[in-house]
């Protein structure tokens, strides 16, 4: 079974595939449990497949999760991978049963996350699971759920229960479905018996290699909404907004942290008041993070400059960084700040100047990563032309082969330049030796779930039909990437 597919981040998945990375049983269990993009039914089958492999030991580092008192001086405890997997499977099955069972002193609340929105809103309350499902179907059957991104169904109890510390805690089960009511994720608070507290991957500290480095502009995977995460950081973070990564925990030596709550990154982002903060934690794991693929505009442009500063301290002066940050914090005084920026080096001044000359510029060469100053001249978005003979029209970047196009896409993704169109030929002549004909590019995009807009200009009717057939089958009609 391919367990790497359970990584939520498309970029980390691709990186692990390229490295031919071999996952341990502990890593497989963690990724399956923390996956939100694949329906729960498939994940339960994957968990069962772990039991068919030889048993392993997993390391528990947090004393709160020790099942027995360790010896003096012990800093961790070993458990059976099979035992933990069986316990997690039973927890999921029990939660599904609790969710569907009508009980006294409980009620169901239906909440909807609409496409393009960042907040769930409560739709209605129901006395039973079946009534809630029927209510959703009646309310949204007219548009076939086309306006719905996520359905959250919560079972609440009127009275709470005592947690492990003796405090009264709310008691509920929350389940998340797609618009077709396929169960994606489920969790509880104080519904499972306390002895089942130990069957959780939250007590594991997992390290996975990632393609990201300090200064990269990232965003949370959109699939995290199936876990109820519409915000990645604290309350002031604007959902779906990019941020600049500073460092990640744990490192390759797994030398920091004791459990899953320590799998996080320190990063720079803007809150809703146009101010900036450094945060030490995110609400979802590093392995959900992806390169930001949309245009950087307004105050977001500062992220590229700050990312350069993180990569190379000398690439941006402190004075330039200060002026740029003040500019982004107070957009209302934009004209005044532009006048003050005349004493800065031309790079920062030019980057914030939205004239037609910059908007029409297309940089065709892919400069080296250490050439940080050049990153400020990147456009916010680009279009790519793949053809072995015909020259690219104005406003397009020319590529001649599939592999050259893949390298170009990966480069601009890494620096958060939006790819708004791929205009493709089919037959690539002698360049077909470098990755095949253009349909191979479509296959690659489909495999990594990167559904950029595609326009076909090929004169080959058979090739065009084959390419269009793949696009019609796999490309979502409302994809926002």
Does residue 172 lie in a domain region? no
Does residue 463 lie in a domain region? yes
DSSP class of residue 190?
S
Contact 324/304 with Cβ under 8 angstroms?
A: no
Number of structural domains the chain divides into: 2
Does residue 22 lie in a domain region? yes
Strands, E assignment, 37-105: 57-60, 77-80
Does residue 79 lie in a domain region? yes
Per-residue pLDDT of 183-238, as tens digits, reads 999 999 888 988 888 999 999 999 999 999 999 999 888 888 888 776 655 444 55
CA distance 470 to 186: 33
CATH number of the domain within which 407 lies: 3.40.50
Strands, E assignment, 303-441: 381-386, 396-399, 418-424
Does residue 61 lie in a domain region? yes
H-run or E-run covering 100: helix 81-100
Q: Average pLDDT per run of 10 along the chain, which is 481 residues long?
A: 95 96 96 95 97 94 83 79 97 96 92 85 90 89 73 88 61 93 93 90 94 92 81 54 87 86 82 51 74 84 87 86 73 49 52 48 42 63 94 93 94 90 95 94 93 95 94 78 49
CA distance 150 to 267: 28
Boundary (domain end) residue, out of 48, 80, 98: 98
Separation in Å, CA 106 to CA 95, 183, 356, 410: 15, 21, 61, 50
CA distance 380 to 366: 15
User: Residue 282: what pLDDT?
Assistant: 46
Boundary (domain end) residue, out of 53, 81, 98: 98
What one-character-per-residue DSSP string does 118-157 give?
Answer: SS-EEEEEESSHHHHHHHHHHHHTTTTTTTEEEEEEEEEE
Structure token pair of residue 32: 């399956």
Does residue 27 lie in a domain region? yes
Burial class (CB in 10 A: 0-12, 13-18, 19+), 451: middle
Question: What is the DSSP pairing of strand 418-424 with strand 454-456?
Answer: parallel
Range of the domain at 93: 4-98
The partner residues of 79 in beta bridges, in order of sequence, read 58
User: Residue 377: what pLDDT?
Assistant: 61
CA distance 264 to 283: 8
User: Residue 369: what pLDDT?
Assistant: 45
Does residue 138 lie in a domain region? no
CA distance 154 to 401: 51
Rg of the Cα atoms in the chain: 25
Does residue 182 lie in a domain region? no
Boundary (domain end) residue, out of 83, 98, 113: 98
H-run or E-run covering 168: strand 168-169
The partner residues of 455 in beta bridges, in order of sequence, read 423
Q: By C-alpha distance, which of 323, 419, 411 is closest to 371?
A: 411
């Amino acid at each position: 079974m391919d367990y790497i597919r359970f990584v939520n981040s498309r970029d980390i998945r691709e990186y692990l595939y390229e490295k031919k990375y071999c996952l341990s049983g502990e890593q497989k269990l963690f990724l399956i449990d923390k996956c939100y993009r694949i329906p729960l039914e498939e994940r339960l089958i994957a968990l069962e497949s772990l039991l068919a492999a030889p048993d392993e030991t997993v390391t528990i580092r947090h004393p709160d999760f020790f099942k027995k008192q360790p010896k003096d001086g012990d800093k961790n405890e070993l458990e059976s991978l099979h035992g933990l997997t069986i316990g997690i499977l039973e927890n999921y099955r029990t939660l599904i049963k609790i969710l569907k069972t009508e009980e006294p002193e409980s009620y169901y609340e239906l909440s909807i996350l609409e496409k393009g929105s960042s907040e769930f809103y409560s739709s209605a309350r129901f006395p039973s699971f079946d009534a809630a499902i029927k209510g959703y179907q009646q309310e949204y059957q007219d548009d076939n759920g086309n306006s719905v991104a996520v359905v959250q169904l919560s079972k609440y109890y009127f009275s709470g229960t005592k947690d492990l510390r003796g405090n009264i805690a709310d008691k509920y089960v929350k389940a998340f479905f797609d618009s077709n009511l396929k169960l994606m994720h489920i969790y509880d608070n104080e519904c499972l018996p306390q002895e089942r507290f130990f069957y959780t991957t939250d007590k594991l500290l997992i390290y996975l290699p990632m393609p990201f480095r300090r200064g990269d502009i990232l965003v949370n995977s959109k699939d995290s909404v199936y876990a109820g995460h519409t915000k990645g950081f604290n309350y002031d973070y604007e959902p779906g907004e990019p941020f600049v990564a500073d460092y990640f925990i744990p490192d390759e030596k797994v030398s920091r942290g004791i459990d899953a709550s320590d799998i996080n990154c320190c990063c720079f982002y803007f809150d809703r008041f146009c101010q900036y903060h450094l945060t030490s934690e995110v609400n979802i794991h590093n392995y959900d993070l992806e390169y930001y693929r949309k245009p950087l505009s307004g105050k977001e442009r500062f992220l590229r400059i700050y990312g350069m500063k993180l990569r190379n301290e000398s690439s941006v002066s402190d004075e330039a960084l200060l002026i740029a940050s003040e500019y982004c914090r107070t957009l209302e005084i934009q004209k005044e700040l532009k006048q003050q920026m005349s004493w800065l080096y031309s790079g920062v001044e030019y980057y914030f100047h939205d004239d037609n000359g910059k908007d029409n510029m297309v940089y065709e060469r892919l400069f080296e990563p250490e050439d940080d100053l050049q990153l400020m001249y990147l456009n916010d978005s680009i279009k790519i032309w793949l053809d072995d003979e015909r020259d690219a029209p104005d406003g397009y970047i020319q590529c001649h082969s599939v592999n050259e196009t893949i390298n170009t896409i990966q480069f601009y993704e890494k620096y958060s330049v939006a790819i708004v169109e791929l205009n493709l030929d089919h037959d690539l002549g002698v360049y077909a030796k470098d990755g095949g004909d253009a349909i191979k590019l479509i296959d690659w995009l489909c495999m990594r779930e990167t559904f950029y807009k595609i326009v076909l200009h090929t004169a080959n009717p058979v090739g065009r039909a084959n390419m269009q057939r793949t696009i019609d089958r796999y490309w979502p009609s409302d994809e926002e990437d």
